Structure 1
């Protein structure tokens, strides 16, 4: 229901702008949004790739960019903002620009963090549960190889292969 209302509102706004200016203006606005959104996503993707390869070269886990603060989502808002810019519509463009503007981006991140971190605000197995699990990570990013041994299960029988003949 919400998506349908959003689409109707977007179409209505585009028709209002087209009546006030011209169809060419609306077309140029939509094309500019796609081009700007693509550029934003490309830039954020390059930054994420640079962060990943730099972290792997140094032998550790990639670190969050310094502008992210404690949330650790340095490329999330630019990617979402670029995607919203690419979607046709004026409201989605405005939301995309709000995601890209640093002060409003920080407000959006804080609000989303508060909504998703509330205990009891989501059902088990929902997006909020996955978000909480994703936030629980080792600060140093080290992975220790090994196997899990459970005391409540009997040990599995060892497999014995027949001797090779030949």
Structure 2
């Protein structure tokens, strides 16, 4: 059997495992709530679920207001320019706090822990940094695969660098017109 006649092996993407992971997470959440119910009683588990849902709704409401205000401020300046009076990462913080609120609204202990990690400032800063790094590396990989140029700081990677000098003036097609 030659290499060209071998059946093509399709690489399974990690995203195809998301539904399986969600079902396993749901089963684990239910099991943990049942175990907690046996430990402290079903009434206390119900109170916990109501309290976490109410707290998540409050967090989500506050994060939504912050996100809308940050997006409005950010939309009023040119892309990439610093927003006057706005700390870096405000939009990312609001988005992570919103995600934390959604996770708190969902019943379950694991989602509560993940929601709290998104809400607490030290872990939120860490999650934001990890997310930015993940997005940056994926975008850079896609740009490189497409044959584009990636600029990291002052360094151009995988691109053509032309040494020269920028001179203000007219664009001249023929260098002899410059009097050289």
TM range (shorter): 0.5 to 0.7
- TM-score, length basis structure 1: 0.62
Confirm or deny that 1:36 pairs with 2:55: yes
Q: 2:127 — aligned with what? A: 108
> Which of 22, 26, 47 in structure 2 is aligned with 1:3?
22
Which structure dedicates a bigger proportion of its chain to helix? 2
Alpha-carbon distance in structure 1 between the residues aligned to 2:115 and 2:142: 29
Aligned positions of 1:1-166 closer than 5 A: 1-52=20-71, 60=77, 63=83, 65-66=86-87, 68=89, 72-119=91-138
Q: Where in structure 1 are there 5+ consecutive unaligned residues? A: 125-166
Q: Which has the larger radius of gyration?
A: 2
Query: How far has the Cα of 1:52 moved from its partner?
Result: 4.7
Aligned CA-pair RMSD: 2.9
Query: How far has the Cα of 1:122 moved from its partner?
Result: 7.5
Alpha carbons of 1:123 and 1:40: their partners in 2 closer, same or farther (altered >3 Å)?
A: same
Contact 1:65 1:74 in 2 (8 A): no
Contact 1:115 1:121 in 2 (8 A): no
Q: Where in structure 2 are there 5+ consecutive unaligned residues? A: 1-19, 144-180
Which structure would you say has the larger RCO, counting Cα contacts within 8 Å and 6 or more residues apart? Answer: 1
